[in-house]
Every structure is written in C-alpha cells, then in structure tokens.
Amino acid sequence: MRLDQRLILALDMTDPKRAVELAGSVRSHVDAVKVGWPLVLAGGLDVLRTLAKSGYVLCDFKIADIPNTSRLIVEQAVDAGASGIICHGFVGEDSVRACVDAAGGKDVFVVVEMSHPGGVEYTAKHAEDLARLATRANATGIVAPATRPERVSALRAIIGRKQILAPGVGAQGGKASEAIVAGADAVIVGRAIYEAANPAAAATAIATEIRSVVSR
C-alpha cells in the first residue's frame, strides 16, 4: 500500500450515503479508507464499489475461516474493488495463504494482535508467532496495536520491512505519533475523525502530528 499521509480512515458506520460523503471530504488527507462489516451489511458491496472509484479501499472482513471459505470471501472483496483485505492470523498458515493467493497481488494484512484490552488475553500471547506466519505466507503486512506501542516495536523486529498498520488511535487511547515512532507504517483511525465536528480538520491534525515525528 502506498502510504504518504500514513493515515487510514475507518468508515465504521451504517449509512452508506454518509460514508461516501465523509470519504469524499477526507480523501485527500488519508491514504485509504477501511470498510468493514457494519457498512457492508448496511449498504452491500455496492458501497465498496462506489468508494473504490475514488481510491484505495481496504476491506476489513477480518477473514477467519477454512481456506476454501476464506478464498471465496477474498474473491468477492477483490471483485468489488478492494485494493487490500484484512484477515486473521490465528486460523493458521493455510487459511492466510489462501487469502494471499485469492487476492492475486492485492494487499493482504494479517491481524496478529488486537488493540482493545481483550487483545491481551489471547492475541498478544501469540502475536510474534502470527507475525512470522504472516511473513512466511507472503502477506503485505500485519495489523498491530497502536494502544501498545512497545508491542509494535517488538513485532517490527520480527517482520522486517513488511508494513504495519496500527489501529487504536484516539477513541481507544493510542497516540498516532507514538505508534509511528514505535515502527508502524500507518495508523488506522475511525471515531477520532468521523465523530469530529470537522472530520477533514481532524484528519489533517493527525497527519500533521505524524509528520512531526517522521521528519525528525
């Protein structure tokens, strides 16, 4: 994924019209929009098709199934215009490989450790192994928690130059600059942008905060 702003907007909402409008107003301040179950269940894959016309859409279905079912899901997402997809790593290497194969050159990001408090209960205990799995399976990168920058650093040491996308900034308590300094390539931000009175200004402020640590 090409990352200039190092910022991805999560469109976690159920009103397709609002999602498309919001994406339009924030597009130039972010590298991609992330679309997940809430929006697709509400608006169908058509909303993904519409968003894909104006840039990179990262399709976050957190795929976690047997290889054949995973493949079918990825094919639908790519067919609708996704430039990247997110899958879980805990399902095992065969399922992640099925996602990578089905993506046909589109980006695949593997969730290795989740950002919420519950992410410590199970995912954190296996994150290093899952990062190695993502590397072996030729994924584009991993998803790791901005809420725990020290974990981003630890995972960076394992995955070398693969990309790290870090959610958990703002509403979940993480700080964009800290995640980037720890080794994230980009942060994923939802509520801190789309719930702001001026989402474009909120996105610009986060991008500026990121630039302030990148140019050092």
CA distance 9 to 26: 8
Q: Interface with ligand BMP includes 170 (CB under 6 A)? A: yes
- Applying CB under 6 A, does 167 fall inside the site for ligand BMP? yes
Contact 140/83 with Cβ under 8 angstroms?
Answer: no
Q: Is 188 in the site for ligand BMP (CB under 6 A)?
A: yes
Helix (H, G, I), strand (E, B) or coil at 104: coil
> Among all chains, which residue has been given the structure tokens 């650093």?
153
Least distance (Å) between residue 40 CB and ligand BMP: 12
Could you give the string, one character per residue 47-66, with x where binding to ligand BMP holds by CB under 6 A and - elsewhere? -------------x------
Interface with ligand BMP, residue 209, by CB under 6 A: no
Task: Select the residue whose beta carbon is closest to ligand BMP and give its number.
Answer: 190
Name the DSSP class of 215. Answer: -
Q: Is residue 106 annotated as a catalytic residue, yes or no?
A: no
* 175 near ligand BMP, rule: CB under 6 A: no
- Please tell me whether residue 171 binds ligand BMP under the rule CB under 6 A: yes
Q: Does 141 bind ligand BMP (CB under 6 A)?
A: no
Q: How large is the C-alpha radius of gyration of the chain? A: 16
Shortest distance, position 37 Cβ to ligand BMP, whole Å: 9
- Distance from C-alpha of 107 to C-alpha of 15, rounded to nearest angstrom: 26
| Contact in structure between 20 and 47 (CB atoms under 8 Å) | yes
114 near ligand BMP, judged by CB under 6 A: yes
Indicate which residue of 17, 34, 62, 106 is catalytic: 62
Nearer to ligand BMP, 184 or 188 (CB): 188
* Helix 67-79 and helix 93-103, axial crossing angle in degrees, nearest 10: 30
Is residue 179 close enough to count as binding ligand BMP by CB under 6 A? no
- A 10 A CB-CB count for 28 gives 11
| Nearest residue to 122 via CA among 132, 112, 131 | 112
Residues near ligand BMP (CB under 6 A) are 10, 12, 34, 36, 60, 111, 114-115, 119, 143, 145, 167-168, 170-172, 188-192
- Report the catalytic residues: 62
